[in-house]
Amino acid sequence: MPMANKTALITGIGGQDGAYLAQLLVSKGYKVYGTSRDAGVSRFDSLARLGIHGQVNLLSMAPNDFKSTLTAISKARPDEIYHLAGQTSVGLSFEQPSETIESITIGTLNILEALRFLGLPAKFYHASSSECFGDTGGVPADEHTSFNPVSPYAVAKSAAHWLVRNYREAHKMFAANGILFNHESELRPSRFVTQKVVQAAHRISCGSTEKLTLGDLSISRDWGWAPEYVEAMWLILQADRPDDFVIATGEANSLKDFVDQAFACFGLDWTEHVFHDDLLMRPNEIAWSQGNPEKARKILGWSAEKKMRDVVKILCGVYSDAHRSSLLKAAENM
């Protein structure tokens, strides 16, 4: 089917990945539907920042409610569904485990059941997570690595991942998992540690005397660039058959390295401004997380172009450019 004739439904379209994915699909000629729990009051700032708010059809849908899910899918009648909605914070999942399990696991189940009930041949993408692997002990995880979830978020994602595989095998559905490792952009909410670091470094470079407090700086993560990762999501649904893919850069860096790089971008020594706080330590933390994206390279032709240092430079540049623009505007108004 020509892409110009395709319809896609994106759950969680207001988030980082949903917005970038919508931008990609719109550029390919898709008719795009996006959902949130209450589309009438949601602001969708990320869509507005990307300049595509008016090019997306917005629907209200609560994935944990089957009737709501069935109604939205019936209205959109999509060729492809990208399920990105659900509680996204690992840290928050320790405080809200029930909501996390319901929004992620039950939400995924309801969409799969709605597709089966309606008999729609839509291709289904589920946003699985590298958190499912737990600590890989310095060995890059691939599609055959066993799951060892160590947070309520990871438990929920693991259950949803296996539901997708079950429906694929039992009901012959085109249902696929994208096991994405950490990926960042300027659209990330400020509660994420990468944004906390970059924003604090920028403020300090502008004269702030604040101190940035962080948890364990020794943890290592595989950080990539979000706009590249949503392209991988699309490629997964263009494959000849449904399958599961690890999406990662294949490179791990410590949070200490990330902090050092971010502060250096603003000409600062991070050791003078960053402090450790035991209260920010998670009850069960993953020490090392790294992916092996070889399968995605071979089958999808996808590989990450931007690694951690590239991501940091881009994020720091966003705030530097915004600061220069504000100074210019202030000078013009004097």
Residues with catalytic roles: 129, 131, 153
Q: How many CB atoms lie within 10 A of CB 152?
A: 22
Residue of 226, 215, 248, 230 whose CA lies nearest to 136 = 248
- Taking the C-alpha atoms of residue 255 and residue 268, their distance in angstroms, rounded to an integer, is 16
Q: What is the CA radius of gyration of the chain?
A: 20
- Taking the C-alpha atoms of residue 282 and residue 196, their distance in angstroms, rounded to an integer, is 16
Within 13 Å of residue 154, how many CA atoms lie on the same side as its CB? 17
Cβ atoms of 72 and 35 closer than 8 Å: yes
- Taking the C-alpha atoms of residue 109 and residue 107, their distance in angstroms, rounded to an integer, is 5
User: Parallel, antiparallel, or unpaired for β 7-11 and 80-83?
Assistant: parallel
